Structure 1
Amino acid sequence: MMTMEKAQKIIEAGIVKAKQIGQPMNIAVVDAGANLTAFVRMDGAWLGSIDIAINKAFTAKAFDISTLELGRNSQPKDQFFGINVSNHGRVMIFGGGIPIKLNGQIVGAVGVSGGSGEQDHAVAEAVVAAAS
């Protein structure tokens, strides 16, 4: 189960990684129902990335797949082409959202936004690693 305390604790790993790469980030964690459980906006992180981080976490949990992988499968002629306009435009199809598993079960997801897709994904991976 993804509690507020657990979410806040694992967000700390994302903050550490974001500081290591020198990129302030917005980091969101949702629970198994895709409900926002914890969020942090680091000093200097883009305001426009707040919703993106939350929506990346939503997407990763709603579809139980990383946003990076979903993006790879949503290109023209691929099976999920056009998925980004579903769910009232909340679906994100670029790196930074990853499901969080505990004991083999998906209990939530993280969404990170504020840097390049590669940077967002790296910070999200740090959060997921801290959860296990």
Structure 2
Amino acid sequence: MAKLGTSVFSLATVFCLSAGAQTVNVMTLNQAGGQTVLQAAKESAQQRSAPSAIAVVDTAGDLLAFQRMDGVRPASADLAIEKARTAARLQRPTAEIEDNINKGRIAFVTADIVALRGGMPIRVNGEVVGAVGIAGLSKETDTEIANTAAAAFSPSPKTPKHN
């Protein structure tokens, strides 16, 4: 019986060690970070007089924060969420995807993604931690607001001190 117990313990130890060696740590946006990005997007939209639907998601594309400003079309809510989700999962701006389709890479059309401008990944130290999606007045404005919001969260480079 003691031999069986020792064997089971040894086997459990091997499985635990190998499982630990097969995992990775992933940085992701938390609720506070989502609110920071949402606020930056809202301020950018207000400065441009461009009411927008704003969605912030984590790396998996799950919704962390959302706001639909007054004066936005109802369908913009779904578009903002899907733009953010697409940017997070593909880890690139949705403008790139739209450009690829326009240049003939039509396979993207068959994927379950929204290939419209206005989705931007949020990066920390080059790693995607979430994304923001904007849907409002125009694709150009959506892109500008998304860029501003994503940049607001990223740590700013240190300014060298001059003596």
What's the counterpart of residue 100 of structure 1? 122
- Paired with 1:37 and 1:25, the residues of 2 have a C-alpha distance of 17
Amino acid at match of 1:46: R
1:19 to 38, 41, 46: 46
Note if contact 2:76-2:135 (Cα within 8 Å) is conserved in structure 1.
yes
Using the size of structure 2 for normalisation, the TM-score is: 0.74
Alignment of 1:1-132 (within 5 A): 1-75=28-102, 77-78=104-105, 81-87=106-112, 91-132=113-154
Q: Per-residue deviation at 1:94?
A: 2.1
Deviations 1:75-118 (A, max 9, x none): 3633xx1423322xxx1222100111012110111100011000
Bigger radius of gyration among the two: 2
- Paired with 2:87 and 2:45, the residues of 1 have a C-alpha distance of 20
- Larger relative contact order (Cα-Cα within 8 Å, sequence gap ≥ 6): 1
Amino acid at match of 2:53: N
Amino acid at match of 2:97: L
Aligned-CA RMSD value: 1.2
Q: Which is richer in helix? A: 2
Deviations 1:35-67 (A, max 9, x none): 111111112222110000000001111111111
Note if contact 2:94-2:120 (Cα within 8 Å) is conserved in structure 1.
yes
Note if contact 2:79-2:114 (Cα within 8 Å) is conserved in structure 1.
yes
Amino acid at match of 1:94: L
**Structure 1: which 5+ runs fail to align?**
none
**Structure 2: which 5+ runs fail to align?**
1-27, 155-163
- Paired with 2:109 and 2:82, the residues of 1 have a C-alpha distance of 11
List, as ranges, runs of 4+ consecutive aligned residues in structure 1 with deviation greater than 2 Å: 75-78
The 3-state SS of whatever aligns with 1:22 is coil
Using the size of structure 1 for normalisation, the TM-score is: 0.90
- Paired with 2:71 and 2:121, the residues of 1 have a C-alpha distance of 26
- Paired with 2:124 and 2:144, the residues of 1 have a C-alpha distance of 19
